[in-house]
Every structure is written in structure tokens, then in C-alpha cells.
Amino acid sequence: MKAFYAIKRFLSYFLILLFTFAYSSALYPQGIEQKVDEYLNLLIKQNRFSGTILIAKDGEVLLKKGYNFANIELDVPNTPQTVFRLGSITKQFTSMLIMQLVEEKKIELEKTIADYLPYYRRDTGSRITVHHLLTHTPGIPSYTTPEWFENDSRDPYN
């Protein structure tokens, strides 16, 4: 359960940082990399941040850097190539993009995932609609419960 709340806290800090720096870069485009770096190092000293940051403006990368550790036990540092399990943080962005595609009439909410993914298994794919996915009601098991993090998240899989 502790791991679940730690991840939620991390994601909250991440979103706050993301929006803070997106807003700050509009106000202070020069030297934003140094300000972000100083701020994140302060958070690291307080044991409140571990992750990787990418800040770009107009296609130009301003800051791309890993902070703290990807694996504390093994002393593995975060790098720009570190892969993170994002979980629910992407849901609102995915939903917005899907609704934009619906508005452009490229996707229909009532169609099934088998309509869009022809090689997906038909037994379930023909019953799950895009609307089910958006409302989190397709019946697909959750891989983000506290029990999953504690019991299964460290198991290696291909």
C-alpha cells in the first residue's frame, strides 16, 4: 500500500512540475534549464523527486536529464533513456486525443476495438467499444492496484 501512495505522490509532483515549468518557460524562456535544474536538485535533497525531465521549446531541446535513482537498491541512476511505468497519468491526454479523433470523425465511440485493431482477439474485441475504454468499463483487469505493485510489479516478463 505504501508503494501505491508513493507512486501517487510522485505523479502529483510530476504533474505540478510539468505545468509549472510549461508556464515558467513562457515567462522566462532564457535560462529555464538552470532554474529547473536548481529546483529539481532542491527537491532531490528533500527526497521528493526522482525521474527524468525533458523540456523543449519550438522543437529545440532545452533540458534532457535524469535525476536521482531509477533503482535505489542497486544505485542505478535515472537517465533520459530510463523507462517508466506511467500508469494512469496518461489517461486524460489519451482521452482528449480520442475525443479529437471522434470530432474529426476518424473514430466512433460505439465501434469496437476489433473494428480498429483487426488482429485483436474477436471474442472480447468485438464486445469492447471505444466508449468502454474511455469510461474504464471494458472489463480488462487492472495492473495498477496496490496488490499488483506489491506482488507482481517486480517480476520479470518478456
Active-site annotation, residues: 88, 91
Q: What is the DSSP letter of 140?
A: P
Per the CB < 8 A criterion, the answer to whether 84 and 74 are in contact is no
Which of these, 126, 132, 144, lies nearest to 98 by C-alpha position?
Answer: 132
What is the distance between the alpha carbons of residues 138 and 134, in angstroms, rounded to a whole number?
9
Per the CB < 8 A criterion, the answer to whether 67 and 36 are in contact is no
Q: Is 47 left (phi over 0), alpha (psi -120 to 50) or beta?
A: left
Handedness of CA 48, 15, 69, 34 (dihedral sign): negative
